[in-house]
Amino acid sequence: MRSRSSYYGRPWRKLRITLLNNEPLCRICGQPANEVDHIVAVDAGGTDDPSNLQPLCRSCHAAKTRAEHQHPQASGTLRVVVVWGPPASGKTTYINTHKRDGDVVLDLDALIAAIGGDRHWVRTPHWWRIAWDLFHDATRATLTYTPERQTVWIQSGNELSFEADNYGRPIEVSSVRIEASPATCIKQAMQRGASYDSSREIVEKWFKTLRVSAKS
């Protein structure tokens, strides 16, 4: 969505052309873009700053604008299931066998792994900061906007809790811990292609950390 005054003005037209030249493809679907979208709608406080603008094709832009008008925020009780446990213990399998069509799956481990880069970058203070923001934003958006008819499945290495106050709606959280021995996890990690050494390192670290946090 854009504001009427800036849309028709010369500065907006110039900005629009520059942006489409720099990034000619729709950021959602990759087709040629022909419109510039405000990521946060102007009505919701978004600005014309380039960081709030993205190229979209006509149909993606229309769908996003329609969603902003029709579904500003969900308000009914949202059911959230946190499925947590050690690495390679079978969390994905558990979710896939229990979720219904249309449910939302938020895999926090995968999300954080997606900004892994190389081993020197992972676990630096900057990496933690980015991982935390990503985790926080993804969870907030998912719990705020998911319609109540859909269950949100959150896959995580740790047990998580959520304050309903942060999402502007009632939230009903249940927690499922996937039980698996370290030996089973190491075996399953290796079946997914990891080496014995790295599987053992990751799995043992998880169990050690859990024991520490359970004591405190």
Alpha helices in 23-174 (DSSP H): 58-70, 91-98, 108-113, 125-145
Tokens encoding 86:
């050690």
Taking the complex as a whole, the smallest distance from the CB of residue 29 to Zn ion amounts, in Å, to 3
Which DSSP state fits 28?
A: T
Residue with Cβ nearer Zn ion (32 or 168) = 32
Please give the residue ranges that form the binding site for Zn ion (CB under 5 A). 26, 28-29, 31, 57, 60
Min dist CB 60 to Zn ion, Å, is 3
The pair of three-digit structure tokens given for residue 118, joined into one six-digit string: 């190389």
Nearer to Zn ion, 31 or 181 (CB): 31
Minimum separation from the CB atom of position 2 to Zn ion (A): 17
Residue closer to Zn ion by CB (options 19, 210) is 19
Nearer to Zn ion, 29 or 40 (CB): 29
52: DSSP letter: G
**Min separation Cβ 139 and Zn ion, Å:** 26
Question: Distance from first CA to last CA of the chain, Å, rounded?
Answer: 49
Neighbouring C-beta atoms of residue 105, cutoff 10 Å: 17
